[in-house]
A and B are shown apart, each in its own frame.
Chain A
Amino acid sequence: MGIVSAIGLDTTETLASLRAGRTGIGALTYLKTTHREFPVGEVKLSTEEMRQRMHIPENQPTTRTELMGMMALEQALQQAHVTSDEMAQAAFVSGTTVGGMDMTEQFYPDFLENEQHKEYISQHDCGACTESIADHFGRFASVTTLSTACSSAANAIINGANLLRSGQREIAVVGGSECITMFHLNGFNSLMILDHEQCRPFDATRAGLNLGEGAAFLVIETEASAQRRGAQPLAVLEGYGNACDAFHQTASSPEGEGSYLAMQEALADAGLQPADIDYINAHGTGTPNNDTSESQAMMRLFGEVLPPVSSTKSFTGHTTSASGSIETVICLLAMQEQFLPLNLGWQHQMDDGITPVTNQTPQRPLRHVLCNSFGFGGNDSSLVLGALPPAPSTTISPTPSATTPEVSTSGLYLTAATQISIQEPLSEQWLESPILYEEPYVRSLDPDFKQWLSAGESRRMGKLLKRALASALTAMQQSGVELPDAIITGTGLGCIENTELLLSHLCFEGEENCKPTPFMQSTHNTISSLVSIHTKCHGYNATYAHKEASFDGALEDAWTQMQLGRIRTALVGGQDEMTPDFFKMLCKTGVFGNPGQVAGETAVSIMMSREPSAAALCRLTAVKRIYQPTAAELAAEAKAIGAVDAVMTSVAGTADTEKIARAASLFPDTPLLQFKNLFGDGFTSFGLGVYTAAHILHRQQLPEAMLIPGYEKPQALRRLLVLNDINGKDFTFAQLEIDN
């Protein structure tokens, strides 16, 4: 495990601060902001000092979130003795929301108006951040990014563990990283949830949170892998739960329904009773709302057997997206050293709340601990960690022996697929005669949203949220599933209309003009949360934000959890919008503006089910993600897929010939098709590829425009491969079939 936060640059320093009761929260030093009045938990190094520590070449654009992530990841890889060969077989799953915002908020005016600092445009998004952290150390087998606001790192741990349990990976490196930015300092300020004093979680006088920053990563592996490598595990990840509060975008329900369900699921997954838990590391932000809601949930679940509870955010500040892994590391240290982390600043008992830890000495051994992480949108997750006797000497925390996955030979059933994009919305009529665009940038064709949303509901929503909701509700209705077990979405950039509104308030009008609505809608998970809030769906909820593989992460998550039997039905979505300013910025980095390439907008929803359904459009029979493969590895993946009737490539524009050549060499003598010429290119347009494949198979109808000149027309339409080739670096294979 590796950790960087306000209370230390490694586990030794972190432990010393925790034992000494020494907070890392203090006056603001490094962040350039006019808000000097707020105490913060900054990592005690300047960005330049971090660059030097990590030996970053002067010309390499690197953000603070990336640097802290690298510092923590280095420690984790070293302690677990992960070799480069082992890394090349391991998954890397990281959580962040802020990504490269620290640089974007400095250089945004340049991004818009000139060529200066344009190298940082490519570092803005969450996925770029994850890849920079990973690539600094070599090559992982797959990389992805969770972005569920303040529970991102906890959900990264859960996703990594599911990849192990399903047998897809034996090692996963999981965690998260997030630096403080003006962007979210002002955002939280506009929500009036920042305390002007040191935060006091669970205190009657608490008045908000203090922002913190940091990173933590953990190496998790299966028991078999740990035995083979001779690794001595540090602890066991015994269980985990993820539930959605489905109440409000920025507030928890008074009774803490989502957190209650997440904790309950984690305990059940671990096979434990409430009385078995020896310590709870609470989310405990220090806001009046969170601490009341979390207290209610804990008191409801644990009743008379409430174990010692503390919020270590009183040491680190609220490290937002990184808090899940930072607090997991703190839990592991507490179990290793058998102490209860304090809850600093607590003096006054809340009327309707718990009484936190005031003494470090536990009354009984710490064997099982619970770690809570909750995020905006009600994205609530909870982990159960178990100690391994005797006191271990190395630093690996595996899941219990991988449960044998229930491999479903017939695949999963796609029961509905809908889209709002630059083709006719919420209809498949476009297959008859698709619109062919020649412009480099086209906005979505929107339906009238009034049938889904009242004026009151829609007045604060940006277009992307409305599209996402309309397409999701239509897909749910078509599939006949009232509420799915999981709502999982992908978005490369989130609601950028709101992001750029807040950025322009920050950069051109001054920090005092930042407003709450654009802030809460700038978080990537606002989309999946909206669908949950609207439908009151308390099931699993997660958001992936990983460049052009954002939808892919969501699809892989649903695939994995259905294989494991954790969920039976899922709504998988992909949403991205494109504003004129972001289009201009992304042309500067070569993402858009290439010959023949059209930039489009996406809101796609796909309903999936484990159960056979006669009404299904088709079956999904393979999902495979692979990062930076060698030519041989890539060829092996293609071979494993076998014969298909056609390959739908992610080629975009007339100059994108490399992708066609690569697909042709991987699948010789196979017809190649394109879909981005119809839907435009975008961060989640791969989802539109999957949507299109499903309807082509179901309708047995192929638009002529999808043919690639020089390649034959498919002879049959029974089995299609949708291949996401992201500049030869990252790949997703999704195979869809119908029965003969």
Chain B
Amino acid sequence: MEELIQELKEHIIEVLNLEDMTPADIEDDAPLFGEGLGLDSIDALELIVMMEKEYGIKLKSPAEGKEIFKSVHVMAQYVNEHRTK
């Protein structure tokens, strides 16, 4: 799980182009959207593409993404349970 969390943080920084950040700057349980990292709806869509590409997880709607992208911790749990690659 620790490894997956680290990996997800790296993917997030890469696909969202968070140039000034390192994985250590993202807390496991901090919200990604709104306060916290302050990501927006386009970021959510980018993360949905990333989930399919990296883990073979197909999300049906942005609303579904909203639940899963609550924090890196929640994301990691979801990936663990649903990954197909």
Residue from the list B19, B20, B42 in contact with A516, Cβ < 8 A:
B42
B30 interface residue (CB < 8 Å to A): no
Q: Which residues of B contact A190 (CB under 8 A)?
A: 45, 49
Q: Which residues of B contact A460 (CB under 8 A)?
A: 16-17, 42
B34 interface residue (CB < 8 Å to A): no
Contact B62 A192, beta carbon cutoff 8 Å = yes
Contact B48 A192, beta carbon cutoff 8 Å = yes
A439 interface residue (CB < 8 Å to B): no
B82 interface residue (CB < 8 Å to A): no
Q: How far is the CB of B66 from the nearest CB of chain A, in Å?
A: 12
- List CB contacts (< 8 Å) of B40-84 with chain A: 41-42, 45-46, 48-49, 52-53, 61-62
Task: State A456–B53 Cα separation when bound (angstroms).
Answer: 25
- List CB contacts (< 8 Å) of B1-33 with chain A: 15-20
Task: State A513–B19 Cα separation when bound (angstroms).
Answer: 22
Contact B48 A459, beta carbon cutoff 8 Å = no
- Given A190-B45, A251-B41, A517-B46, residue A512 in contact with residue B52 (CB < 8 A): yes
A472 interface residue (CB < 8 Å to B): no
Contact A459 B17, beta carbon cutoff 8 Å = yes
Q: How far is the CB of B44 from the nearest CB of chain A, in Å?
A: 9
Q: Which residues of B contact A614 (CB under 8 A)?
A: none
Q: How far is the CB of B19 from the nearest CB of chain A, in Å?
A: 6
Q: Which residues of A contact B61 (CB under 8 A)?
A: 192, 207
A515 interface residue (CB < 8 Å to B): yes
Residue from the list B38, B42, B49 in contact with A250, Cβ < 8 A:
B42
Contact A459 B45, beta carbon cutoff 8 Å = no
Map CB proximity to B onto A169-200 as digits: 1 under 8 Å, 0 otherwise: 00000000000000000000011100000000
A455 interface residue (CB < 8 Å to B): yes
Contact A512 B62, beta carbon cutoff 8 Å = no
A262 interface residue (CB < 8 Å to B): no
Task: State A516–B65 Cα separation when bound (angstroms).
Answer: 15
Classify chain B: how many residues form its interface, as a range. Answer: 10 to 19
Q: Which residues of A contact B46 (CB under 8 A)?
A: 515-517
Residue from the list B19, B49, B62 in contact with A515, Cβ < 8 A:
B49
Q: Which residues of B contact A513 (CB under 8 A)?
A: 49, 53
Contact B53 A512, beta carbon cutoff 8 Å = yes
A520 interface residue (CB < 8 Å to B): yes
Task: State A512–B85 Cα separation when bound (angstroms).
Answer: 15
Task: State A651–B45 Cα separation when bound (angstroms).
Answer: 45
Task: State A190–B42 Cα separation when bound (angstroms).
Answer: 10
Map CB proximity to B onto A234-251 as digits: 1 under 8 Å, 0 otherwise: 000000000000001111
- List CB contacts (< 8 Å) of A510-524 with chain B: 512-517, 520
Q: How far is the CB of A475 from the nearest CB of chain B, in Å?
A: 28
Choose among B16, B49, B61 the residue with the greatest number of A CB atoms under 10 Å from its CB.
B49
Q: Which residues of A contact B19 (CB under 8 A)?
A: 455, 459
- Output the nearest chain B residue to A516 by Cβ-Cβ distance: B45
Q: Which residues of B contact A520 (CB under 8 A)?
A: 42
Q: How far is the CB of B54 from the nearest CB of chain A, in Å?
A: 11
Contact A456 B52, beta carbon cutoff 8 Å = no
- List CB contacts (< 8 Å) of A566-598 with chain B: none
Q: How far is the CB of B64 from the nearest CB of chain A, in Å?
A: 10
Task: State A248–B62 Cα separation when bound (angstroms).
Answer: 16
Q: How far is the CB of B71 from the nearest CB of chain A, in Å?
A: 19
Q: How far is the CB of B40 from the nearest CB of chain A, in Å?
A: 8
Task: State A456–B38 Cα separation when bound (angstroms).
Answer: 9
- Output the nearest chain B residue to A250 by Cβ-Cβ distance: B42
- Output the nearest chain A residue to B53 by Cβ-Cβ distance: A513
- Output the nearest chain B residue to A515 by Cβ-Cβ distance: B49
Task: State A373–B62 Cα separation when bound (angstroms).
Answer: 25
- List CB contacts (< 8 Å) of A641-655 with chain B: none
Q: Which residues of B contact A251 (CB under 8 A)?
A: 41
Task: State A517–B46 Cα separation when bound (angstroms).
Answer: 8
- Output the nearest chain A residue to B37 by Cβ-Cβ distance: A456
Q: Which residues of B contact A207 (CB under 8 A)?
A: 61
Q: Which residues of A contact B49 (CB under 8 A)?
A: 190, 513-516
Q: Which residues of A contact B18 (CB under 8 A)?
A: 459
- Given A190-B45, A250-B42, A517-B46, residue A459 in contact with residue B53 (CB < 8 A): no
Q: Which residues of A contact B42 (CB under 8 A)?
A: 249-250, 460, 516-517, 520
Map CB proximity to B onto A409-421 as digits: 1 under 8 Å, 0 otherwise: 0000000000000
Task: State A514–B52 Cα separation when bound (angstroms).
Answer: 11
Task: State A455–B52 Cα separation when bound (angstroms).
Answer: 27
Q: Which residues of A contact B17 (CB under 8 A)?
A: 459-460
Q: How far is the CB of A512 from the nearest CB of chain B, in Å?
A: 7
Task: State A191–B18 Cα separation when bound (angstroms).
Answer: 20
Q: How far is the CB of B48 from the nearest CB of chain A, in Å?
A: 7
Q: Which B residues are closer than 8 A to A by beta carbons?
A: 15-20, 38, 41-42, 45-46, 48-49, 52-53, 61-62
23 chain-A/chain-B pairs, Cβ below 8 angstroms: A190-B45, A190-B49, A191-B45, A192-B61, A249-B42, A251-B41, A455-B19, A455-B20, A456-B38, A459-B16, A459-B18, A459-B19, A460-B16, A460-B17, A512-B53, A514-B49, A515-B46, A515-B49, A516-B42, A516-B45, A517-B42, A517-B46, A520-B42
Q: Which A residues are closer than 8 A to B by beta carbons?
A: 190-192, 207, 248-251, 455-456, 459-460, 512-517, 520
The 8 closest A-B pairs by CB, nearest first: A516-B45, A459-B17, A515-B49, A455-B20, A192-B62, A516-B42, A191-B45, A515-B46
Known pairs A512-B52, A515-B15; list 12 more (Cβ under 8 Å): A190-B45, A191-B45, A192-B61, A249-B42, A250-B42, A251-B41, A456-B38, A459-B17, A459-B19, A512-B53, A515-B49, A520-B42
